[in-house]
Amino acid sequence: MPSISHLIEEFIRTFPFFLKPLLLTFELTFASVVVGTVIGLFVALLKISKFPIGPIIANVYITVIRGTPLIVQIFVLYFGFYKVVDLGQFWSAALALAVHSGAYIAEIFRGAIQSIDKGQLEAGLSLGMSPAQTMRRIILPQALKRSIPPLGNQFILSLKESSLAAFIAMDELFAMARRLSAETFDEMTFFLIVAVYYLVIVMLFTYLVNKMEKRLAKGDS
Amino acid sequence: MSEKQAMIRVQNLKKSFGAVEVLKDINLEVKKGEVVVLIGASGSGKSTLIRCINFLEIKNGGDIFIEGKSIDPKKDDLSKVRQKVGMVFQHFNLFPHKTVLENVIEAPLIVRKINKEEAKKEAMQLLKKVGLEEKADVYPSALSGGQKQRVAIARSLAMKPEIMLFDEPTSALDPELVGEVLETMKQLAREGMTMIIVTHEMGFAKDVADWVAFMDKGKILELAAPHEIFNHPKEERTREFLTRVL
């Protein structure tokens, strides 16, 4: 085990090297969560839709994504995107992560939508609103609010999972740790340091999500 | 009886949930301005009947005529039909993410597509009518049950319906809050609103109803003027029910 003082020294020395990767990790996470949220909402609506083929498509997508390892998905999607439509490295990686988290986000939204009291739909319909208007104006706003805490968790998962992008040539946090450990043969030091980076970000974010959750809970009856 | 138009006519209505037949051959006619109160034990089909009239439940057989037109839930635009038929629910079903005023203007804005100023003006008049104009900007969670139900009535009236359906509007209320909701409904009746009301408030039924229908096991067993039903019930089952609730 490296000593604490050695870890701190190396942390401070290499801090400038980690800044850009840190930013890239954030960008990857943020892009994949935003796109994943759009995918998730679309798939959730497909899954509860009345078109007979909608739920089938949604289920196939969710089953495949949840049933295969993320690293495999990343390689397949990355090379798929990269070679077929060439979106550039960043977006290929971000989309691969988004398609992955989209499946989980879809289930978050579906659960939230179905948790809204049936009386809300009936009230909207009884006022002459169409089912689509009721969904958009009445059900979704309430469901999205209920989705925020689990979406926060998904964000944390996505942040950690973005480390797998190191394997498709993204110079994010974990890639930097691998490079520094390869250069210095001081593997433990840099993997511990990168663990601290992730841990601190996750703890900060958890704190923010909890705070937001409390504030949202206040508005509820 | 015949000079006034039937706003609602229900003919041989049948409704089942799975193997359970909830409505068996229901016939009912409600003319313009009439108040019909449905009474009967829980499970007798009262709520299902008015939910069928608003097509929140889809009938298995028979016909429902709204203003003389038979409605086919598969073909007709139910939104159009429901604009004429307001509904008030036992559990209010106010939109919790919207203020009282926003609850009331929602459907006029989205469905009637009137402008916001006009919608607000109408809404404030309705809130005044139900005695809640000073609550316009609060959220439903800050209201008592009776206030919630009065907002729900105002919200429904904002669509200018021809007919109002009330599904046990006071059953979820604390006893001391029942009166204010019944008073609002009485006022509507005096103004000539056509109403079908499911309720357990027998005193209210006596006061307000033109007709009282006693339902039992999915059938309308007896339909008569309130003094007839309450003083000289013809059916044994009606008598039994009334001795239990009066």
For residue B20, pLDDT beyond 70: yes
For residue A157, pLDDT beyond 80: yes
- How open is the CA angle B110-B116-B118, to the nearest 5 degrees? 110
ipTM rounded to 2 decimals? 0.93
Q: Which residues pair with B87 in a beta bridge?
A: B165
Q: What is the mean pLDDT of residues A40-52?
A: 92
Residues 6 or more apart in contact with residue B135 via CB below 8 angstroms: B100, B127, B142, B143, B147, B151
* Residues across chain B: 246
Every domain of chain A and the residues it spans: 4-219
Rounded (10°) angle between helices A89-115 and A140-161: 140
Residues 6 or more apart in contact with residue A49 via CB below 8 angstroms: A55
A128 contacts in B (CB within 8 Å)? 79-80, 82-83, 107, 111, 159
Q: Cα–Cα distances in Å, from A73 out to A57, A76, A79?
A: 18, 5, 10
In contact, A220 and B141? CB cutoff 8 Å: yes
- Is the Cβ pair B82, A123 closer than 8 Å? no
- Give the CA dihedral B33, B132, B82, B54, nearest 10 degrees: -80
For residue B1, pLDDT beyond 50: no
Nearest to B16 by CA among B51, B54, B53, B58: B58
CATH topology (fold) of B6-245? Rossmann fold (3.40.50)
Q: Does B110 touch chain A (CB under 8 A)?
A: yes
Å from A113 to nearest chain B CA? Answer: 14
Whole-number Å distance between alpha carbons of B219 and B12:
10
For residue B2, pLDDT beyond 60: no
B79 contacts in A (CB within 8 Å)? 125, 128-130
Whole-number Å distance between alpha carbons of A105 and A149:
12
Q: How many CB atoms lie within 10 A of CB A85?
A: 11
- Is the Cβ pair B79, A220 closer than 8 Å? no
Question: What is the chain B residue with the closest CA to A141?
Answer: B97
> What is the per-residue pLDDT for A214?
83
- Is the Cβ pair A128, B82 closer than 8 Å? yes
For residue B123, pLDDT beyond 50: yes
Q: How many CB atoms lie within 10 A of CB A167?
A: 15
- Is the Cβ pair A126, B56 closer than 8 Å? yes
- Is the Cβ pair B95, A138 closer than 8 Å? yes
Q: What is the mean pLDDT of residues B9-33?
A: 94
CATH architecture observed for domain A4-219: Orthogonal Bundle (1.10)
Identify the residue with better confidence: A129 or A76: A129
Mean pLDDT of chain A: 90
- Give the CA dihedral A84, A90, A96, A99, nearest 10 degrees: -110
Residue A74 amino acid letter = I
Whole-number Å distance between alpha carbons of A57 and A53:
6
pTM: 0.86
> What is the per-residue pLDDT for A218?
64
Residue B3 pLDDT class (50, 70, 90 cuts): low
Whole-number Å distance between alpha carbons of B197 and B13:
18
